[in-house]
Amino acid sequence: MIRAIDGGITAPSGFRAAGVACGIKRAPAAGQPAALDLALVTPAAPASAAGVFTTNRAVAAPVVLSREQLRRSGGRASAIVINSGCANACTGAGGDAVARQMAEAAAAAVGCAVDEVLVASTGVIGVALDITKVRAGVASAARALGVDGSAAATRAIMTTDPFPKSYAVEVETAHGTFRVGGMAKGSGMIEPRMATMIGVLTTDAAVAPAVLSRALTRVCDETFNAITVDGECSTNDCVFALASGVSGVTVADADISALVEGLRAVAGHLAREIVRGGEGATKLVTITVTGAASVADARLAARTVANSPLVKTAIHGGDPNWGRLVAAAGRSGAEFAIGRASVSIGDVPLFVMGVPHDERADDAARVLANRDITITIDVGAGGSGEATMWTCDLSAEYVRINGEYRT
Amino acid sequence: MIRAIDGGITAPSGFRAAGVACGIKRAPAAGQPAALDLALVTPAAPASAAGVFTTNRAVAAPVVLSREQLRRSGGRASAIVINSGCANACTGAGGDAVARQMAEAAAAAVGCAVDEVLVASTGVIGVALDITKVRAGVASAARALGVDGSAAATRAIMTTDPFPKSYAVEVETAHGTFRVGGMAKGSGMIEPRMATMIGVLTTDAAVAPAVLSRALTRVCDETFNAITVDGECSTNDCVFALASGVSGVTVADADISALVEGLRAVAGHLAREIVRGGEGATKLVTITVTGAASVADARLAARTVANSPLVKTAIHGGDPNWGRLVAAAGRSGAEFAIGRASVSIGDVPLFVMGVPHDERADDAARVLANRDITITIDVGAGGSGEATMWTCDLSAEYVRINGEYRT
């Protein structure tokens, strides 16, 4: 059984966190408090660690380093340090050195091996990260570490996110109760110039690194990798998971279902919050594809529909335009049989086994007036392949945010 | 040698055309002339014919029929009939019958075999096409056929295109001179609900059907298939080519280069005009990818950049945001080496062999103020793969057009 609880990354036992301001983000207006821009998360003892990273081949220095760290440490970590305001991406050999120095600073501050530090950065691309500011921030964050530091850490990884994203659950199993917590930042891009998704998941279950990695990969496919704001994939995307083991509940390789469910509950919530906070977004749209020849086909069709500008603008305008849904699924490359295909908006069928039902358009338009919308598409291939993607609408505000000349 | 000449599809000898109003499009305001909505194109005698069609699996009835007609006739056609205002897509078995009746009506009106008629439709999806109106339109168009009918035919295939698209060239070869003409419609979608691209190319060269088909496919890859407004692919897209042979210049299988060049000149011009007339477009952007491991990789990277909402909004806003160009190329799936990658906007290098040159940002911003913009990306894979795509910027007007509730 899973139930939501208060808190975020420090809700599971054995984790402390801090968020501080060290001047990487531009100075706020006079009289305003300094913007938080550096987060530190530490387990009480070296924890099992896993990571999922961007598939973009233009990959940022902190992503390259964290991937290596996990390999070198054999999946153990004693600290995660994340800065916002500068992505340390497209910064050449100098950027690689800065990412390394950031890990060294955190290792010195918390007293662990350098290989046991994971790093992440989010913010402007192509600008050098000031290591002096990072060092000051890490030292100050290490002093501020506490079980009450979750909210500050969550704010410190934000760029232009409209709200912080944090969540935690308690998982009851036959062997005892453990907790999963998490924080994430999403796609706000005026200053960072990129949608950068960063997530940290924590649990007090006892999990071997390889098992944690397997669970994280599986959960990310159904959560963080199943959302889209605009189809972009950044140079800096990464999700980390840490397991402290403090709860005393061990997750064995043979049955990871409780861990997967706990991680999925937290990651799924955070992923949907990222979409809700997408640039210019006014609606959260759940797109489910059924009847596909395979799960891969279902994902392909769902992703194509979720990224279709014509679908996203129609939803923004409240137009129950099933023709655009059919056309997007049809061009996705997934097996598609128009004579057996169906489309519903909410519970209103608009196209059933190849036949239009435009007489239901007014009912569907009423569904589209809601903030949360479900769209179901049967691609008519007669298979059992199913997949769900979450997306948002496309508004003129998205264009305004991303088209504004940077200052 | 190729030179532009006046006229469009009837510029080559042996073609007549007409465009008439038959009431498929909504009645215009009182006092306005009726909207042209049916075009007819005929060669003087059965012509060699070829077609390239949408790859969307949600395919419209006229596309299915025209594909079959080309197969049944062995690549001969005596008429092309195209209506606007109704796509005859997602219309089930009834729609198939109407497409067939449209061909029968044209065959009766021009006096040819039914199999020698090609049909196309563009407009609203999921609405039945009124065959009574089509029959009246075909009869009236057959009476109006003339060598001066090109302009009316070009207007009759428009939906919400902001301007008609027509072009013609003369090709001088060692064996004599022949002509190539063409018309196209692009992506205007308020009423049609889809970006539907339809093109007709004519030539008075003497070309066997198989040779014409080969030349058309090759030319489409570099022209109509190398443009994007919003990454959408419609249920109705098609391009037809007809060769009358009236010029007496024969294009032999062994050397199709003059034909390809002529077709490319016309199709390339029409394709770029479609982008210029894209919904909400204010700029024509030419994206060239070089240094790719293969031509396929170069096309993949160019297409991903051309469809990136972040790239398209940055161009709209005049922001020389090379980070978005690097990130889009990096996520495309093409081989990409950031340390050897370079990006230029116009002739201004902003990222050279992995090193940012933000000091040139003001120069690049001046380039972006133009209506025609060239972007060059070397993906650093060290290969000779190159490709060019044409796209437009993404404006709030695009969202307004496509988000407006249909009336």
pLDDT digits (tens, 9 = 90+) for A209-254: 999 999 999 998 888 887 777 766 667 788 899 999 999 999 988 8
pLDDT of residue A404: 67
| pLDDT value at A73 more than 80 | yes
The burial class, CB within 10 Å (0-12 / 13-18 / 19+), for B37 is buried
Sequence letter at residue A359: E
CB contact under 8 A, A394 and B399: yes
* Type of residue found at A9: I
Q: Using an 8 Å Cβ cutoff, are A272 and A390 in contact?
A: yes
The CA distance from B28 to B39, in Å, is 18
Residues A195 and A31: beta-carbon distance below 8 Å: no
Under 8 Å CB-to-CB from B139, ≥6 apart: which residues? B105, B109
Q: Is this prediction's ipTM beyond 0.90?
A: no
Has residue A182 got a pLDDT over 90?
A: yes
Q: Which residues of chain B fall below pLDDT 50?
A: 189-195, 405-407
CB-based contact, A394 to chain B, within 8 Å? yes
Q: Are A289 and A302 in contact (CB under 8 A)?
A: yes
Cα separation, B265 vs B15, in Å, equals: 19
Instruction: Give chain A's domains with CATH numbers.
Output: 2-276 (3.60.70.12), 284-403 (3.10.20.340)
Measured between alpha carbons, how far is A45 from B378 in angstroms, rounded to an integer?
A: 46
pLDDT, one tens digit per residue, over A326-335 is 989 998 999 9
Sign of CA dihedral A99, A100, A102, A106: positive
Q: Where are the beta strands (DSSP E) in B125-192?
A: 165-173, 176-185
d(CA A381, CA B241): 34
Q: Which residues of B touch A322 (CB under 8 A)?
A: 126
Instruction: Check CB contact under 8 Å for A90 and B234.
Output: no
C-alpha closest to that of A83 among A111, A62, A113, A58: A62
User: Quick one: pLDDT at residue B278?
Assistant: 82
For residue A189, the model assigns a pLDDT of: 44
Cβ of residue A90 closer than 8 Å to a chain B Cβ:
yes
Three-state SS for A398? helix
d(CA B287, CA B272): 12
Torsions phi, psi for B119 (to 5 deg) = -125, 150
Residues of B classed as catalytic: 196
* Alpha-carbon distances of A68 from A53, A74, A124, B327, rounded to whole Å: 12, 10, 23, 22
Residue of chain B nearest A126, judged by CA positions: B356
Give the contacts of B366 (CB within 8 A, at least 6 positions apart).
none
Read out DSSP for A67-130? HHHHHHHTSEESEEEEEEEE---S-HHHHHHHHHHHHHHHHHHHT--GGGEEEEEEEETTS---
Residue A356 contacts B, CB cutoff 8 Å: yes
Q: In 10 A of CB B97, how many CB atoms?
A: 13
The predicted structure's pLDDT at residue B189: 45
B194 contact A CB<8A? yes
Q: What value does the mean pLDDT take over residues A52-77?
A: 92
Smallest CA–CA distance from A305 into chain B, residue = B232
CA torsion A334→A339→A340→A341, rounded to 10°? Answer: 60
As a whole number of angstroms, the distance between CA B26 and CA B124 comes to 11
The two structure tokens encoding residue B296: 């396929």
Structure tokens at B294: 């293969």
Backbone phi and psi for residue B48, each to the nearest 5 degrees, phi listed first: -65, 140
Going by the DSSP 8-state scheme, the letter that residue A251 receives in this structure is: -
Quote the pLDDT of residue A130: 97
Which pLDDT score is estimated for A196? Answer: 67
- Distance, in Å, from the CA atom of A181 to the CA atom of A262, rounded to the nearest integer, reads 9
Residue B350 · residue B356 · CB < 8 Å? yes
CA distances from A289 to A168, A271, A322, A382 (A): 29, 19, 14, 12
Measured CA to CA, the distance from residue B308 to residue B392 in angstroms comes to: 11
Residue identified by tokens 């598939």 is A55
Residue to mutate among B331, B350, B368, B391, with most A CBs inside 10 A, is: B331
Q: Do B56 and A338 touch (CB under 8 A)?
A: no
**Mind listing the pLDDT tens digit for each residue in A93-148?**
899 999 999 999 999 999 999 999 999 999 888 889 999 999 999 999 999 999 99
Q: Which residues is B343 bridged to in the sheet?
A: B351, B377
Collapse the DSSP code of B317 into the 3-class scheme (helix H, G, I; strand E, B; otherwise coil) and give the result. Answer: helix
Q: Quote the pTM value.
A: 0.80
Which tokens sit at B320? 């020389």
Closest alpha carbon to B377 in B271, B262, B286, B261: B286
- Residues paired with residue B35 on neighbouring β-strands, in sequence order: none
Backbone angles phi, psi at A182, to 5 degrees: -165, 160
pLDDT above 80 for A387: yes
Give the pLDDT confidence score for residue B249 in this predicted structure.
Answer: 94
Residues of A in contact with B233 (CB under 8 A): 327, 331
Rounded Cα distance between A350 and A357, Å, is 5
Rounded to whole angstroms, the Cα distance separating A259 from B252 reads 68
In this complex, do B324 and A403 lie within 8 Å of one another by their Cβ atoms? no
Chain A positions in Cβ-Cβ contact with residue B195 (cut-off 8 Å): 310
CA distance B319 to chain A (A): 5
pLDDT value at residue B190: 36
B66 membership: H or E segment, kind and range: helix B61-72
Q: List b or e across B232-260, with b for residues whose CB sees 16 or more CB atoms inside 10 angstroms.
A: bbbbbbbbbbbbbbbbebebeeeebebbb
The strand pairing partners of A146, in sequence order, are A17
Euclidean distance between CA atoms A41 and A241, whole angstroms: 11
CB B43 within 8 A of CB B10: no
Q: Does any CB of chain B come closer than 8 Å to the CB of residue A293? A: no
**Which B residues, 325 through 354, put their C-beta within 8 Å of a C-beta on chain A?**
326-331, 335-339, 341, 351, 354
Query: What is d(CA A325, CA A342) in angstroms, rounded to the nearest whole number?
Result: 10
Regarding predicted confidence, which is higher, B397 or A351?
A351
Give the residue from B245, B255, B251, B242 showing the smallest Cα distance to B181. B242
